[in-house]
Amino acid sequence: MASFITQSHCTVTTPVAQICTMRGRRILLIVGGGIAAYKACELVRLIRKAEGAVTCVLTEGGAKFVTAMSLAALSENPVHTTLWDLKDEVEMGHIQLSRQADLVVVCPATADLLARMAAGIADDLATTLLLATDKPVMAVPAMNVRMWQHAATARNVARLRDDGVAVMEPDEGAMACGEWGPGRLPEPETILAGIRQMLDAEPVAAEESFAALSASTIPRQFAPALDEDETAAAPPAEAEPAPPLEASGLLLPKKGKARAAPPTDPDALDRNVDAGPIAEGPPNDGPLRGCHVLITAGPTHEPIDPVRYIANRSSGRQGYAIAAAAARAGADVTLVSGPVALPTPPGVRRIDVESAREMADAVKASLPADVAIMVAAVADWRTRDVAADKMKKRGSAPPALILTENPDILANVGASGRLRPQLLIGFAAETENVIANATEKRKRKGADWIIANDVSGDVMGGHANTVHIVTASGVESLPQLPKDEVAEALVDRIAAALAAD
Ligand code: CTP
């Protein structure tokens, strides 16, 4: 996705696959705290590959995500972490460090770092250097979407831009915390293009750059960076991979009214989800022909240890019936399914997942869609820590499970901006105040319709369902029907709504 530096004199409009020639240019790279910090390692590698020199300053927060050793190995320069590293002012004072670079790059720039920069605070090495420098400064933000959109952050970014700092626009996409929107760190190649533009160096083709690299005699300060293979072969020099979700202990996606997740980068969570083959089906010539319909179905399983999980009673039947009916109506159907014992309906592309976060990833990977119908009974909570080994009885108190909230997939699709489906439908499993709760849920989750069903009987796991279709213009209650007929009725109404638009 394209990113833009919005300072008027430098607008990057193309994420470039080119290598920038930066021979002899010096970058002071301030690595802030956030999971996107791991991408700073790749940025260092790219700068070195482009023959630039880079000196890293690692903030206290940044050091929680990447090590000074990795940055030192990749940059082939000492990494500075505290003001007190520089107490030998004769050899390397902080003023000198701030000014010996051609460009100061803050990447990732967290909300906190942007705020401190905007306020002119100088209470650590990074902010002191930023205040002391007389060189251009470029900031590459990465944070949770709500933090990026918060009025305070917008104010700080505007102030920094007024002060002459080039603040890149973050990329837009799914957050690791399950939310969608702007806040992702742009790809390192895009950041490199921004740096090159700031340095006003001309890009050249990669082959030329590599030829120049091997043909020149380069002093140690500008020695060629390791190539990819060498980098991979040298253990201490490897870029840090994204920290595993559980190990980081920081990625605690929230839903509903829970507090916002900390700054995260979704790439750390990205998983490739292989969509299964489309089962043989009828020709697509019904009223939903040409529509991509995305459906979630079934329960989710939230692991406790290798043998235990948290689950619910959902059989997946209603979601599968809707997928089958939509396919019969000619739709191109993607069914993201939790663990169920049901065959894939004809004409349906099925993606199997287990946990809520896997379901969120698969939904994200399946967008865009014209219609999304979230039928899954997503577990609201998962255990914060998953035991690597089977938990054993210790003969004393049972273990305490600490729960944390799962991402709200429906609400996040509802807030996904241009990726939001034209028609977004949720289900509401209620045991009391069915319509009132569903009406409130429709608004809270940003859905167009909520299909409310009373699950106080044996609906979950059963074959029949009594539903109420709650829309902005009212409530339509259907009689108790087999789940297949509920699905047909729903697909009829979806086709009518799309035709009316
Ligand atoms: N849903 C979701 N992600 C979640 C929880 C629910 O996408 N983490 C979706 C369901 O697929 C359904 C709708 O939200 O379409 C409502 O689910 P429900 O379980 O009834 O609502 P909750 O948000 O869990 O609210 P509560 O449990 O407080 O009633």
User: For every residue of 256-297, which 3-state class applies, written as one string?
Assistant: CCCCCCCCCCHHHCCCCCCCCCCCCCCCCCCCCCCCEEEEEE
The residue whose CA has the least distance to atom 16 of ligand 1 is 428
* DSSP conformational letter for 394: -
Q: Residue 309: is its pLDDT beyond 90?
A: yes
Span 448-461, average pLDDT:
81
**Ligand 1 pocket, residue 318 CB under 6 Å:** no
| Residue whose pair of structure tokens reads 């939230």 in the numeric block | 302
**Interatomic CA distance for residues 103 and 166, integer angstroms:** 11
- State residue 216 phi and psi, 5-degree precision: -95, 155
* DSSP conformational letter for 86: G
Dist. CA 279 → ligand 1 center (Å):
28
Q: Residue 116: is its pLDDT beyond 80?
A: yes
**Ligand 1 pocket, residue 195 CB under 6 Å:** no
Span 435-443, average pLDDT:
95
Dist. CA 409 → ligand 1 center (Å):
8
Dist. CA 264 → ligand 1 center (Å):
23
Dist. CA 408 → ligand 1 center (Å):
7
Structure tokens at 304: 């406790």
| Residue whose pair of structure tokens reads 């933090």 in the numeric block | 147
| pTM for this model (two decimals) | 0.52
**Ligand 1 pocket, residue 451 CB under 6 Å:** no
Q: Report the percentage of the chain scoring pLDDT > 90.
A: 55
Calculate the average pLDDT of the chain.
79
Decide if 450 contacts 441 (C-beta within 8 A).
yes
Dist. CA 259 → ligand 1 center (Å):
17
Higher pLDDT, 428 or 261: 428
Query: Does residue 291 have an active-site annotation?
Result: no
CA 299, 302, 428, 501 torsion-angle sign = negative
**Interatomic CA distance for residues 226 and 35, integer angstroms:** 24
- State residue 166 phi and psi, 5-degree precision: -85, 110
**Ligand 1 pocket, residue 409 CB under 6 Å:** yes
Atom of ligand 1 nearest to the CA of 356: 8
**Ligand 1 pocket, residue 360 CB under 6 Å:** no
Span 100-124, average pLDDT:
95
Span 272-298, average pLDDT:
74
Lowest mean pLDDT among 53-67, 196-210, 235-249, 263-277: 235-249
* CB atoms inside a 10 Å sphere around CB 21: 20
Question: β-strand 464-465 against 481-482: which pairing, if any?
Answer: antiparallel
Q: Residue 455: is its pLDDT beyond 60?
A: yes
**Ligand 1 pocket, residue 330 CB under 6 Å:** no
User: All domains of the chain, ordered by start, with CATH?
Assistant: 19-247 (3.40.50.1950), 276-389+396-500 (3.40.50.10300)
Q: What pLDDT is recorded for position 429?
A: 87
Q: What pLDDT is recorded for position 78?
A: 86
Atom of ligand 1 nearest to the CA of 406: 8
Span 377-392, average pLDDT:
92
Lowest mean pLDDT among 129-133, 202-206, 472-476: 202-206
Sheet containing 26-31: order of strands: 79-80, 53-58, 26-31, 103-109, 137-141, 166-167
